[in-house]
Structure 1
Amino acid sequence: MTPDLIVVTVTYSPGPHLDRFLASLSHATERPTTIVMADNGSTDGVPEEALERYPNARLLHTGANLGYGSAVNRAVRKYLAAEDSFEGDAPAADPEFFIVANPDVVWGPGSIDVLLEAAERWPRAGSLGPLIRDPDGSIYPSARHQPSLVRGGMHAVVGPVWKSNPWTAAYRQDRLEPSERPVGWLSGSCLLLRRQAFDAIAGFDERYFMYMEDVDLGDRLAGAGWQNVYVPSAEVLHDKGHSTGRDPARNLAAHHTSTYTFLADRHPRWWQAPLRWTIRSALAARAGLVVGNSRRKIAKRKGRADDE
């Protein structure tokens, strides 16, 4: 019997998104799957309901809101191991590949099988990612270069006010037609991961609570001799409604914190301390501006709603 392909999703009161994720999964692959919901403290009862509706679902309570990468790592440690050492209800699993995806993803027909086929063509691919569409049908720039100081810095500084600037276009590879190719990093909202590569870099870096954990993963995979391969012949839709919209100001602040962690790690030497101080100051200033702007917008919308 073919062993199950493990699909890990991190839940945190996912609402109706989770059912669309689970229902569409059957169209994504012909292989048997086991879905592991690594739950970071849901209070809406939706993951528990999914257990009743989907026999191939498993629920792993992480014990707290650990963040994305930490929850994935825990699921992998429990549900992906040598077949003679599974814990508890862990099924017989394919040790070579597994999927990590947000619960607000809707799977395109055959999308997982297309990723698995591409993995055969790219034996050094540690991660493979599909073309991701936004709810309006537009293509999300999910395959990007690594954020160098110049390219990433200019994207961060002028991107919010000059959308078509050349640094953002280069960083996001906006001017390239979708094609199967190695890239710097892939969106963590949907990834096929090779277990050997994931183990070689000890999985996600758990210092990242949210944001940049996928950039870091792609960078460390490349540093260990693996590739991150974009596979646009596989398609998914990402609704982006799971957790990022609940507290935009908090999420913006977390994004800047994670960005500093990533950049400081890449410039760790003592003589680079002035650069780290400059990065920290610049990110703090930018975070103050964008977080303040976000909070003003929320207050304005709330005020209009109260007036109606």
Structure 2
Amino acid sequence: MSRRPPDGEAPVVTAIVVAFDSAHALPDCLDALRGEGIATIVVDNASTDDSAALSERRGARVIRNGRNEGYGRANNTGVRAADTEFVLIVNPDVIVQKGAVAALVDAAQRYPDAGFFAPQIVEPSGRVFFQPRSLLAKHLTNPGGKLVLPEGEACAPFFSGACFLMRRSFFLDLGGFDEKIFLFYEDDDLCRRIADTGAALIYVPQARVGHGRGRSSGPKPGLVFKSRWHQAWSRAYVSRKYGLPDPAPSMFAVNALKTLAAGLSFRRSLIERYGGSAAGALAFLRGRSALRQEGLS
């Protein structure tokens, strides 16, 4: 199912890859998709490196955003541009292994009422990434966070957004990723909305992909502060969206104190880390949106 179909037969899967200064990771990602015969759309979030041109050289269709639109918004753009039954959301630091996409499509055909199909994600160390809990899960919250891997296909309330398969029509009917979120927790939110429809989310361990966690974008000054800002803001946003206790006041208080302590030690990395979290929480408390923060509102 993942191979290119015979002439005249429509493909069934389009991969959507959102790039932001991802030229270091894209070659392996795109080459693996091309090796499996997967048509690919790369949505480039105004990269300053060779991401867009590199993607075109490797046969991907490229959509160039004039500015960084954020992860969810860019993925939505890519899904709307696709015309296949299924879409495969793929981070640029993910490498699909042989037969992985075919296994996901096979599962989707065997479970036509399910809404989300997640592969087994293997990190460079060999560790299998399987989220033991989710902030937004209404059931199986696993408060202790103990990691127990399913031995076969299984349902769970949450999976990583690094790589997954969905029917394009269902993704669009749900509204795609929440476009108020610039970065972080968009996968928690999507999984919660899928579960709220009554559709299952299914783990397909025979579909294996490699994930170089944290390698989607190249390092740059201020990236840690920005990342922590959005992580704090997005956590507060989804908590309010689903009626959970507001974590913003405590996040601000704790991280403001840690920022002051880090300042006394002159450790820039810690100042950025804790300062970003404090600033994101404070922005949420003051009613500032993530899109306004990025000049997108």
Bin for the TM-score computed over the shorter chain: 0.7 to 0.9
What secondary structure is seen at the aligned counterpart in 2 of 1:214? helix
Q: Per-residue displacement from partner, 1:114-156 (whole Å, max 9, x unpaired)? A: 111111121122111111111111111247455459997xxxx
- Between the aligned partners of 2:218 and 2:231, the Cα distance in structure 1 is 11
What is the TM-score with the length of structure 2 in the denominator? 0.77
CA distance in structure 1 between the aligned counterparts of 2:251 and 2:38, rounded to whole angstroms: 42
Q: Is the 8 A contact 2:94 2:162 kept in 1?
A: yes
Is 1:134–1:237's contact at 8 Å kept on the other side of the alignment? yes
Counterpart of 1:264 in 2: which secondary structure?
A: helix
Aligned to 2:77: 74
Aligned partner of residue 210 in structure 2, secondary structure: strand
Check if 1:196 corresponds to 2:169: yes
1:128 is matched with 117
Is contact 1:253–1:291 with CA below 8 Å preserved after alignment? Answer: no
Is residue 114–residue 200 contact of structure 2 (8 Å, CA) maintained in 1?
Answer: yes
Q: Does 1:231 align with 2:204?
A: yes
Q: Are 1:296 and 2:284 an aligned pair?
A: no
1:290 shift after superposition: 7.0
Question: Which residue in the other structure is 1:14 paired with?
Answer: 22
Following superposition of structure 1 onto structure 2, how do residues 263-302 of structure 1 map, counting pairs within 5 Å?
A: 263-267=239-243, 275-276=245-246, 279-288=247-256, 296=267, 298=269
Q: Percent identity?
A: 28
2:208 is aligned with what amino acid?
A: E
Which residue is 1:159 aligned to?
none
Which blocks of at least 5 consecutive residues in structure 1 are unaligned?
Answer: 81-93, 153-165, 301-308
Partner of 1:23: 31
* Alpha-carbon distance in structure 2 between the residues aligned to 1:223 and 1:298: 39
Equivalent position SS for 1:186: coil
Residue 234 of structure 2, aligned match among 258, 261, 275 = 258
| Residue identity opposite 1:67 in structure 2 | G
Partners of 2:94 and 2:39 in 1: how far apart? 16
Matched residue count: 257
Map of 1:63 onto structure 2: 66
Distance 1:139 1:289 in 2: 35
Correspondence 1:139-288 to 2 at 5 A: 139-142=128-131, 144-145=133-134, 147=136, 167-170=143-146, 174-240=147-213, 241-243=215-217, 246=220, 247-267=223-243, 275-276=245-246, 279-288=247-256
* Aligned with 1:37 (options 32, 38, 42): 42
SS of the counterpart of 1:258? helix
Judged with a 3 Å threshold, the aligned counterparts in structure 2 of structure 1 residues 289 and 233 are, in CA distance, closer, same or farther, namely: farther
Please state how far the C-alpha of 1:75 moved relative to its aligned partner: 1.5
Change over 3 Å in CA distance of 1:291–1:135 after alignment to 2 = farther
The Cα shift of 1:7 comes to 0.7
Structure 1 match to 2:4: none
Give the unaligned 5+ runs of structure 2.
Answer: 1-7, 272-297
Q: TM-score, normalised by structure 1?
A: 0.75
Work out the CA distance in 1 between the residues paired with 2:259 and 2:80: 36
2:31 is aligned with what amino acid?
A
- The structure that is helix-richer by fraction is 1
CA RMSD of aligned residues (A): 2.8
Residue 116, structure 1, aligned to residue 105, structure 2: yes
Q: Aligned AA for 1:47?
A: A
